[in-house]
Structure 1
Amino acid sequence: MSDFDSDFEPARLLDPPPFPADRVAGLADRLARLIGASGDVLLVQAEAVVALEAVAASLGRPGVKAINIVTSPYGVWFGRWLRRAGASVVEIRAEAARPVSARAVAATLDAHPDAQLLAVVHAESASGIRNPLETILSLARERGVLTVVDAVASLGGHPFAADALGADVVVAGPQKALAGPAGISAVAVDSRAWAEIDRPDAPATSTLSLVDQKRLWLDAGRGALPGTPSPLELWALAAALDRVEAEGIDRIIDRHAEAAAAARDGLQALGLTPWAGPAEASHLVTAFAAPADVDAAFLLERLKAIDAEFSLGVGAGADRLIRLNHTGRRADPQVVHTMISALATALRR
């Protein structure tokens, strides 16, 4: 049995036409507009976790002190990558599967006035929470601290404008709210960040080297592609951006907000409590803890038999939560209604 739908022809994926360099530059510029960044945008031919590791490898080095906010496994990984690059890392660990408090960030910044870098995830699909990004970046900007924002889950699901927020480095992935391919990601870098990245001892000749891309692509006028990129991923990204621009990013954000509100209302109608309140919830997934008298694993098994997009949360504290996925094309109140109906049926059983 084929894993493909009967109407799909896998052979269509073979022998794709090349994707020219000028169109790659155009994709970067289109992503820059969505991110709200006036600086450079690099495309990384890999899922966004590789782009995040490249940022850590390119900014981390001996003598750098970084404040790393941990609200999911992704924050844990970013701290490890910074340490591996030689940086000194101070971690702010939020309560399990909860957002970090602005008070904790301010206190840590005040306790470490020599910190040069702060890293934070905007929205966490792992648990369905959202960190207070605007306040965090404002606190860092007041102190002249360089900032790295993981906006992989939030771009397209929440309002985001890198320049206005004061984010120096932003990592984005089109596979979430933008409903694009997972095998390519973007890194927006402003001039302040380049001053720290483009240095004589920067990692080079490496997949994790941002300075390689700067020298081989940006500094060369974006005329020739460095390496051998995958045309399939580039064509898929172009198609996704066409669809995003046709709908409009503001409408996409509104659609995610509407789906999240419908999910919260539906859970509450069933007597369940959403894990995160509206002020601290991600618009991409809505999570809840199964009632004490319900076997969560058994409930999830029944739910997944109806819709595979039900899943457990990821990471400490989130692994006991059940998530409703309303990301990307699923950000539709009708999809949410169907999931809530499935949940009601499973709970009755």
Structure 2
Amino acid sequence: MNHSTEVFTLSAGPTMATHRTLAALGQPIMYHYDPVFLETFGRTQRKAAEVFKTKNDMLLMQGEAIVALEGAARSLTKPGMKVLNLVQGVFGKGMGYWLESFGAELHEIEVAYNDAVSPEAVEKYLQENPGIGLITMVHSETPSGTLTDCAAIGPIAKRYGALTLVDAVSSIGGLEFETDEWQLDIVVTGAQKCLAGPPGIGMVSVSPAAWEQIESNPNSPRASYVSLLDWKEKWLEGGAFPFTPSVSDVHGLESVLDQVLEEGLDNAIVRHTNAASATRAGAQAMGLELWAASESIAANCVTSVRVPGDLEHLDIRAHVRAKYGVMLSSGQGAGNLMRLAHMGPSANAMYPIVGLTALGQGLRDLGAQVDLGAGIEAAMSVIAQNN
């Protein structure tokens, strides 16, 4: 195995960091109660809220975003509570396991992992099953590259009196996301996907209605690494930390938030959209089939394609990494598919060409019939039109 650092990381996260981000991560370690760091932490929190497009409370929780997701789910779920979980991929399914372990009466709408749960299906389920108190969903299912229509589902949930918990780990910073406009109660993201920051910190926005539910829930974790209430009482209300935060991760997070805000969120979304369009055009012209049932539900942070013939995704990933120095993502439980990510810095002009070339030639090496030239030409045509 070549352990050289000269690898194109076009995986579905963690993603490549810019030199500016790496420099921020390399700042001297500070005491977390140094006034300079306290100011930095508060400033970073406000910038995160700006990226979420929310006036709700914002928490910066240590650990990969899965920690914040577990904390949010545990905090909201009362024993016997009816929870509707939307499942269209690996992470949605995993949320259901959590909810059951927290004592929820679990209800699920599940579709094939190349499809998406529709707002109409959600409304119909709520009509037929009164008393649902919480709806959980994944905005962008990274393993399968599909998108949930949170913009439509959020208001539906409100009409039926249900809170919402959204896993937006792989979407915020690269896909359109409007926390307040979409009436979402708790939203969680990480720094390591479209924002291209360190994987050790998560961000959580919490609405007043969600806090009311959490504070009345006897199951809400306290004195715990995953406790939202600890962060509310210690930091939001007291200006102290429930435990020592990673100073370096906060510096890195502030840097990536600065970068996306300086670029402009709308511009970042267009950049990710253009990269996705080029990648999909190239993959299809190459003769590959998109994994998503339709492009309307394909997330613009990652392009998923079906593996042709009798090849296996893990073999392809290993071959492309070893021979061409390009790190792609495989299906991660969603199916026999390959994923070309376009997140953060990799959602730029020529990175889709690198990914498509490495994947296409790798498939040819392993015996698949693909038209690599047609794929690159199609992708370049889209790139030329958009630049």
TM-score (norm 1): 0.91
Q: Distance in 1 between matches of 2:121 and 2:361?
A: 42
Residue number in structure 2 paired with 1:141? 158
Which of residues 42, 59, 78 is equivalent to 2:95?
78
Deviation at 1:63, TM superposition (A): 3.4
Moved more, 91-100 or 108-117: 91-100
Q: Distance in 2 between matches of 1:193 and 1:337?
A: 44
Q: Distance in 2 between matches of 1:103 and 1:155?
A: 24
Residue number in structure 2 paired with 1:93? 110
Amino acid at match of 2:228: L
Deviation at 1:91, TM superposition (A): 1.3
The alignment of Structure 1 onto Structure 2 pairs a total of residues equal to: 343
Cα pair distance change 1:231/1:138, threshold 3 Å: same
Which of residues 235, 245, 250 is equivalent to 2:251?
235
Residue number in structure 1 paired with 2:171? 154
Alignment of 1:37-186 (within 5 A): 37-186=54-203
Cα pair distance change 1:275/1:29, threshold 3 Å: same
Cα pair distance change 1:211/1:71, threshold 3 Å: same
Moved more, 284-293 or 319-328: 284-293
Cα pair distance change 1:102/1:307, threshold 3 Å: farther
Amino acid at match of 2:230: D
| Contact kept? 2:173, 2:195, Cα under 8 Å | yes
Deviation at 1:200, TM superposition (A): 6.7
Q: Distance in 2 between matches of 1:112 and 1:31?
A: 36
Q: Distance in 2 between matches of 1:271 and 1:130?
A: 23
Alignment of 1:239-258 (within 5 A): 239-258=255-274
Moved more, 304-313 or 88-97: 304-313
Amino acid at match of 1:16: I
Moved more, 289-298 or 138-147: 289-298
Alignment of 1:312 onto 2:314: no
Runs of 5+ consecutive residues of structure 2 not aligned to the other structure: 7-18, 366-387
Q: Distance in 1 between matches of 2:360 and 2:112?
A: 30
| Contact kept? 1:216, 1:226, Cα under 8 Å | yes
Moved over 6 A (4+): none
Q: Distance in 2 between matches of 1:341 and 1:138?
A: 42
Deviation at 1:110, TM superposition (A): 1.4
| Contact kept? 1:307, 1:339, Cα under 8 Å | no
| Contact kept? 1:309, 1:325, Cα under 8 Å | no
Deviation at 1:14, TM superposition (A): 8.8
TM-score (norm 2): 0.82
Q: Distance in 1 between matches of 2:4 and 2:169?
A: 27
Q: Distance in 2 between matches of 1:90 and 1:155?
A: 27
Q: Distance in 2 between matches of 1:139 and 1:236?
A: 36
Q: Distance in 2 between matches of 1:307 and 1:264?
A: 22
Residue number in structure 1 paired with 2:345? 329
| Contact kept? 1:288, 1:323, Cα under 8 Å | yes
SS at match of 1:21: helix
| Contact kept? 1:94, 1:101, Cα under 8 Å | no
| Contact kept? 2:51, 2:257, Cα under 8 Å | no
Deviation at 1:98, TM superposition (A): 2.2
Runs of 5+ consecutive residues of structure 1 not aligned to the other structure: none
Q: Distance in 2 between matches of 1:160 and 1:89?
A: 27
RMSD: 2.5
Residue number in structure 1 paired with 2:30? 17
Deviation at 1:73, TM superposition (A): 2.2
Q: Distance in 1 between matches of 2:132 and 2:246?
A: 38
| Identity within the alignment, % | 36
Deviation at 1:81, TM superposition (A): 1.9
Which of residues 305, 313, 338 is equivalent to 1:288?
305
